[in-house]
Amino acid sequence: MRHDGWCGLIDRRTLIAGLSATVLAPRHARAATVTDAAGRAVPVPANVTRVFPAGPPAAILLYTLAPDLLIGWPRANRPEECAYMLPEICTRPEVGRITGRGNTANLETVLAFRPDLILDIGSTSGTFVSLADRVQEQTHIPYALLDGRFDAIAKAYRSLGELIGRAEDAEKLARYTEDTLKTILGRIDSIATDARPRVYYARGPKGLATGLGGSINVETIELISRNVAGDTPGGLANVSIEQILVWNPDVIVTIDQEFAATVRNDPSWASVKAVRDNRVHLSPKMPFGWVDFPPSVNRLMGLWWLAKLLYPERFSEDLRGLTQDFYFRFYHVTPTAAQIDHVLAGRD
Amino acid sequence: MNNARSAVPGLAIAIAVLIAGLLLALTVGRYPVGLGDLISVLYAKVVGHRADVPPAVESVILQVRGPRVIAAMLVGAALAVAGTAFQGLFRNPLVSPDILGASSGAALGAVVGIYLSLGVFAIQTVAFVGGLIAVGIVYVIGASVRSRDPILVLVLTGVVVGSLFGAGVGLVKYLADPYNQLPAMTFWLLGSLSATGVNDLFPLFGPVAVGAAVLVALRWRMNVMSLPEEEARALGVATGPLRIAIVAAATLVTSASVATAGIIGWVGLVVPHLARSLVGPDFARLLPAAAILGGGYLLLIDTLARTMAQVEIPLGILTAVIGTPFFIWLLASVQKNWS
């Protein structure tokens, strides 16, 4: 707060990171520690050549910034996903995950990969902080825990850039992230909350699972529209069709192809406003989901997609061009026109 | 003596519970539907013209709430009847329809179906088949082990094979995609009727009707099966084939229920005892009483599940919360009531 007047024009972090990316980069990258999102001081490894991702979001974050450092994937990618990634990186082995709902990588396996750094991004709650501390203590490998929320992605890139000595590349992605968020939010800023479309997020083949208020699953939707299930805070839950009829959403966003294909002919959904108005939208998901999971930078593209769907008059950009640009910057590939059509159709 | 007591008051209570449950279930829900709307939609359906109500109301009654209410009654009745049959067959009051692995088998089938990203109908089919396979395995193993107490061998095999299928469920959940598939599996295993539509009713009704018809046809012999094995044989009952028939019928109804509604414990354990306390142990009365009570009980539970909050309360949780105190009471009083 002391520096309010000074950093009003430009965020202090942006300034420092910007400087570090240009003038100070060599010296800065050799700093002793980087403070991660949980406030832990993570020792900066001397020379990073191999990074172990603790879970899918971390693997994606690292892939976008420094694909060559990625040891492997928490789960092996499918061949059709590799069409949208660098093939030699996409086919790297399955290494399991060391966070989330269950460990599938044991620590000896982690050590056997000889990582210079373990990267985790997501919740910074006590469970994950203690996990990070414990793993770092047991393995003596620096374990960085970054924040996975939208507004923290830019910061996550900058921290990671410092940790692996790629501050310059990180700064580019961080800037793109900030610009995208600023552009999208800026254009809809004048629309009052009450005037924004009411969106129901449908998961599962019957479309009856949804993300409640504040759930990471609906972060994209809640950022630029109103989540009909947002009154009840929580994570994922099942709801009844009756409840959806009461909510009567303007728009339905789904990740389930089966649901998207059948809902129009399902008599029990027929009187829902979104179905009547033909506003059921299947989210793209290749190579990573656009609106929901994994909760990493992949959702940034979904924000463009959603913004164009909900506010077409305010977003005149060509989505295909945006897709191509995003895939080039983040996934290091240039998809063909046919591939972009395939992605935008929500197919996998 | 229980047998001498008239069953009429007991059955009357059971029917009253069911009718009360039906009226309540059809008129309450997240979407407001008045009694007048309900009557006019049902009347219009019967005489075959369109009701003068908003289409959403008609859709709620005919497409959403109606099928769900019918499914709740069918599943509750099916589990209660299967539980009644198994408690008699195994001469044990603490047996439930999943004792031979039907639920574990169906659960494994369902999670494999979700893991393979199958459609809803395919998942239900795989679950149904999984239940039948699990019980089939149990029966084949149980029958091939020579023992003086075939019932005990069967129950033990059921427990062991059930836990093996349970381990299979754990393995598939472990391998599943944590963002998409795992929540779907968890929801399925907790049990819910929230997705029930008109199309789900026939695949549920068919097996339940067949299984229940077999059990009703065998009602007199099931009384004999409640006696010790030697006594039943002495009375001229072929216990082996009869046991197969009862197990097959009960498995059919249990698997169909679990395939539609997911894992719902307790109904098949608790309701047979309620029914027995109302009409006595004679299967000719016990089966219909258990079916009516089970249907009414699950209907009430499901009505709670869909009305208490904006989100669905899983049925498995509600039935357990209500079933556990009853089970404890049952354990405390089982000595004097069961003989």
ipTM of the complex: 0.75
pLDDT (tens digit per residue) in B246-296: 999 999 999 999 999 998 888 898 889 888 888 888 999 899 999 998 999
**Least-confidence region, from A61-70, A129-138, B48-57, B328-337:** B328-337
pLDDT for position A99: 61
With CB atoms and an 8 Å threshold, state whether B180 touches A229. Answer: no
| Residue of chain B whose Cα is closest to the Cα of A271 | B56
Chain A residue numbers touching B123 (CB-CB < 8 A): 205
| Residue of chain B whose Cα is closest to the Cα of A204 | B184
Model confidence at A25, pLDDT cuts 50, 70, 90, reads very low
| Residue of chain B whose Cα is closest to the Cα of A245 | B31
pLDDT for position B93: 81
| B200 at A interface, C-beta within 8 A | no
pLDDT (tens digit per residue) in B113-167: 989 988 888 888 999 999 999 999 998 998 888 777 778 888 899 999 999 999 9
**Which of A:235-254 have CB within 8 Å of B?**
236-243, 245-246
Question: What is the nearest CA distance from B299 to chain A, expressed in angstroms?
Answer: 15
pLDDT for position A9: 46
Model confidence at B4, pLDDT cuts 50, 70, 90, reads very low
SS (H, E, C) chain B: CCCCCCCHHHHHHHHHHHHHHHHHHHHCCCCCCCHHHHHHHHHHHHHCCCCCCCHHHHHHHHHHHHHHHHHHHHHHHHHHHHHHHHHHHCCCCCCCHHHHCHHHHHHHHHHHHHHCCCCHHHHHHHHHHHHHHHHHHHHHHHHHCCCCCHHHHHHHHHHHHHHHHHHHHHHHHHHCCCCCHHHHHHHHHHCCCCCCCHHHHHHHHHHHHHHHHHHHHCHHHHHHHCCCHHHHHHCCCCHHHHHHHHHHHHHHHHHHHHHHHCCCCCHHHHHHHHHHHHHCCCHHHHHHHHHHHHHHHHHHHHHHHHHCCCCCCCHHHHHHHHHHHHHHHHHHHHHHHCC
pLDDT for position B281: 87
pLDDT (tens digit per residue) in A274-299: 999 999 999 999 999 999 888 899 99
Domain boundaries, chain B: 8-337
Q: Taking 70 as the threshold, does the pLDDT of residue A1 lie above it? A: no
Q: Taking 90 as the threshold, does the pLDDT of residue B228 lie above it? A: no
Q: Taking 90 as the threshold, does the pLDDT of residue B316 lie above it? A: no
Chain A residue numbers touching B183 (CB-CB < 8 A): 203, 209, 236
Q: How many percent of chain A have pLDDT more than 70?
A: 89
Chain A residue numbers touching B314 (CB-CB < 8 A): 238
CATH class of A4-175: alpha beta
Question: What is the nearest CA distance from B50 to chain A, expressed in angstroms?
Answer: 15
Question: What is the nearest CA distance from A203 to chain B, expressed in angstroms?
Answer: 8
Under CATH, which architecture does the B8-337 domain have? Answer: Orthogonal Bundle (1.10)
**Least-confidence region, from A98-107, A284-293, B206-215, B275-284:** A98-107
Chain B residue numbers touching A220 (CB-CB < 8 A): none
pLDDT (tens digit per residue) in A163-196: 999 999 999 999 999 999 999 999 999 999 999 9
pLDDT (tens digit per residue) in A52-71: 999 899 999 999 999 999 99
According to CATH, the topology of domain A193-344 is Rossmann fold (3.40.50)
| A234 at B interface, C-beta within 8 A | yes
| Residue of chain B whose Cα is closest to the Cα of A272 | B56
pLDDT (tens digit per residue) in B52-67: 888 888 888 888 899 9
Q: Which of B55, B180, B311 sits opposite A239 (nearest CB)?
A: B311
Model confidence at A28, pLDDT cuts 50, 70, 90, reads very low
Q: How many percent of chain A have pLDDT more than 90?
A: 63
pLDDT for position A134: 83
With CB atoms and an 8 Å threshold, state whether B30 touches A268. Answer: no
| A231 at B interface, C-beta within 8 A | yes
Q: Taking 80 as the threshold, does the pLDDT of residue A26 lie above it? A: no
**Least-confidence region, from A7-16, A213-222, A268-277, B12-21:** A7-16
Instruction: Please state the rounded mean pLDDT for residues B209-234.
Output: 85
**Which of B:280-319 have CB within 8 Å of A?**
306, 309-312, 314
How high does pLDDT run on average in chain A?
87
| B50 at A interface, C-beta within 8 A | no
Span(s) in chain A for CATH 3.40.50.1980? 4-175, 193-344
String of b and e for A266-277 (b: at least 16 CB within 10 Å)? bebbbbbbbbee
Instruction: Please state the rounded mean pLDDT for residues B315-338.
Output: 74
With CB atoms and an 8 Å threshold, state whether A240 touches B194. Answer: yes
User: Distance of CA B230 to CAs A345, B220, B235, B243, B281, Å?
Assistant: 68, 17, 9, 14, 20
Q: Which of B60, B177, B310 sits opposite A232 (nearest CB)?
A: B310
pLDDT for position A100: 45
